[in-house]
Amino acid sequence: MRVKVFYHDRCFDGASSAALFSRFYSERIRDDVEFVYSGLLHRAGSLFNESDFNGDENAIVDFKYSSSPTITWWFDHHESAFLSPEDAAHFEQDGSNRKFYDPAFRSCTSFIATIAEQRFGFNPTPVAELVHWTDIIDGALYEDAKTAVEMKEPAMQLTMVIESTQDEAFIPRLIPLLATQPLEEVVTAPFVASLLPPLLARHKASMEVLSQRIESRDGALFFDITDHELEGYNKFVPYYLHPESVYSVGLSKSSFRVKVSVGSNPWAPSPPVVNLAKVCERYGGGGHARVGAISFDVTQHAEAKRAAQEIVEELRASFRDGRSG
């Protein structure tokens, strides 16, 4: 029995969701299973290749909905979970009891744990640490920006490695460890630990770059780091450097996309009021109310920059209106 698990790639919650789903499936559905893991990334154009859905069962976790008849399991918690109204209608009509959606959950990992326990009798206690940290990391529930930036906890170190890796084999190798081992043991595995020193140095360098690039005014900061290979930067560094900000808009670049990241400061002096998922959806992206992103083709740098500038001006105008209202 071959089960393919598609997960949000280069994302701690995505990898953890794949890990928790696999443990749940092997404990409560069937145990004679070979799991195959495949990462999915938001990008311009088609998100899915139908030919990849070639498992005996195919599951998607922490990623947008696919109406493909070959998808047998789906879990997601993103507000922008559906690519079209037709996909949303397809999900609503599904009667399999294998596809689940709830944007109220902080992380997809905690959502899977809850559904697996309530619907299938799964015991989530052995993975409680993983669920706890995915809620903190995906829900930005850190006590302060310093905690989010200093990289002291094993979960934070794993997040840095996961978000930065360019090795397609790394996360599939990591997922089985997340499903079965304490995080402090996972981070000491040789293939993980060897990556940490250069990444911590890169993290320090990225903070220096961001400190030079950020333009902060009217409650929103903007930065463009497309001339550096820093797409996996720590998204809380801007708020650590500029605690006065409410929103952030950043431009970064990788080999296959230009990314516009739109976020809000969890420790902002005044609460964010703009739904960032809705803003990003207008440009073909999505996310949550408090954090979102848009992916442009790598050739569309000018379009990405224009979108980023329009969004930061919209957020600054909203902030000014709130101040004057």
Phi and psi at residue 209, in whole multiples of 5°?
-65, -50
- Give the pTM: 0.85
Which amino acid is present at 46? S
3 DSSP β-pair partners: 35, 57
The predicted-structure confidence for 252-287, as pLDDT tens digits, reads as follows 999 899 999 999 999 999 999 999 999 999 999 999
Q: How many CB atoms neighbour CB 62 within 10 A?
A: 29
3-state class of 266 per DSSP?
coil
Query: Hey, what domains does the chain have and what are their CATH numbers?
Result: 2-193 (3.90.1640), 199-324 (3.10.310.30)
**Binning pLDDT at 50, 70 and 90, where does residue 324 land?**
low
Phi and psi at residue 47, in whole multiples of 5°?
-90, -20
Chain centroid to Cα 170, Å, comes to 17
Please provide the average confidence, as pLDDT, over all residues in the chain. 96
Phi and psi at residue 145, in whole multiples of 5°?
-65, -35
**Is the model's pLDDT at 23 over the cut of 60?**
yes
Q: Is the distance from CB of 320 to CB of 217 less than 8 angstroms?
A: no
Please count the residues of the chain: 325
Q: How many CB atoms neighbour CB 207 within 10 A?
A: 17
User: What is d(CA 79, CA 83) in angstroms, rounded to the nearest whole number?
Assistant: 11
Q: What is the pLDDT of residue 325?
A: 54
For the chain, where are the alpha helices, taking DSSP H only? 12-28, 85-92, 108-120, 128-138, 145-149, 154-164, 170-180, 183-186, 190-193, 196-213, 237-241, 276-281, 301-324
